[in-house]
Chains A and B, each alone.
Chain A
């Protein structure tokens, strides 16, 4: 079955870096674009970043542009989010999600369980 498992979260000081990973299985990872979505405690969903299936196209939310970098290793079926210059407002649960096109509509159809990032001194 399709599985997405995030890891790498934790407590980090402001200004420091963290790298999140999303290990996938049960589907042909190289065929699918992927997203990261985050959710601050008690808040709604915020899209963070997108990467195309081949990894050549990437887009970021304005709130993380220039600080976060998304990469995709199709040989390892893994997605990564390098987060630099972290701020308190980056504190959130981070989800990786698969983008699937059905009938020419795109959805985030499979999600991981999330990994918590806390930015605090």
Chain B
């Protein structure tokens, strides 16, 4: 089974800061990697699909990159409304899903 890891597990940054989260797969997953945002008490929301494609309606300050085993998720200028936990997610060719452990983002 493919395992997903994320780092850091949590971070604090100031409004306007650039924030980067990394996600690593235990084996090559090409670009079958999505990123989700989950605010407290809410369901997750997909932000990035296919490693680097911005979901419709998602602000352009969010971006993703990488392929193979190493991926990044970036918020170019952190906003107060971005306080949330972010998860990477892989799906295999049978659409079985694996989530990373999550990264909690706070405002400093």
Binding site for B on A (CB under 8 A): 33, 35, 37, 44-47, 50, 52, 57, 59, 95, 97, 99, 102-103, 105-109, 111-114
Q: Would B102 and A50 count as touching, CB distance under 8 A?
A: no
List the A side residues contacting B43 at CB < 8 Å: 95, 97, 111-114
Minimum distance in angstroms from A112 CB to a CB of chain B: 7
A111, closest chain B residue (CB)? B43
User: Which has the most chain A C-beta neighbours within 10 Å: B43, B44, B53, B95?
Assistant: B43
- Docked Cα-Cα span, A108 to B36, in Å, equals 9
- Docked Cα-Cα span, A58 to B99, in Å, equals 19
Does B98 interact with chain A (Cβ within 8 Å)?
A: yes
Known contacts A33-B95, A47-B96, A50-B95; A109/B101 CB under 8 A:
no
Q: List 10 A-B residue pairs with CB atoms under 8 Å apart, sorted by A's residue number.
A: A33-B95, A44-B100, A47-B97, A50-B97, A105-B34, A106-B91, A107-B34, A108-B36, A111-B44, A111-B45
Q: Would A102 and B49 count as touching, CB distance under 8 A?
A: yes
Please name the 5 residue pairs, one residue from A and one from B, whose CB atoms are nearest each other, closest first. Answer: A111-B43, A105-B50, A47-B97, A45-B99, A44-B102
- Docked Cα-Cα span, A105 to B52, in Å, equals 11
Q: Would A59 and B53 count as touching, CB distance under 8 A?
A: no
Q: Would B46 and A106 count as touching, CB distance under 8 A?
A: no
**Which of the residues A103, A106, A112, A113 comes within 8 Å of B95, measured between beta carbons?**
A106
Q: Would A108 and B96 count as touching, CB distance under 8 A?
A: no
- Docked Cα-Cα span, A52 to B96, in Å, equals 11
Q: Would A108 and B87 count as touching, CB distance under 8 A?
A: no
List the A side residues contacting B50 at CB < 8 Å: 102-103, 105
Minimum distance in angstroms from A24 CB to a CB of chain B: 14
Q: Would A44 and B101 count as touching, CB distance under 8 A?
A: yes
**Which of the residues A35, A37, A108, A114 comes within 8 Å of B46, measured between beta carbons?**
A108
A93, closest chain B residue (CB)? B43
Does B69 interact with chain A (Cβ within 8 Å)?
A: no
B42, closest chain A residue (CB)? A113
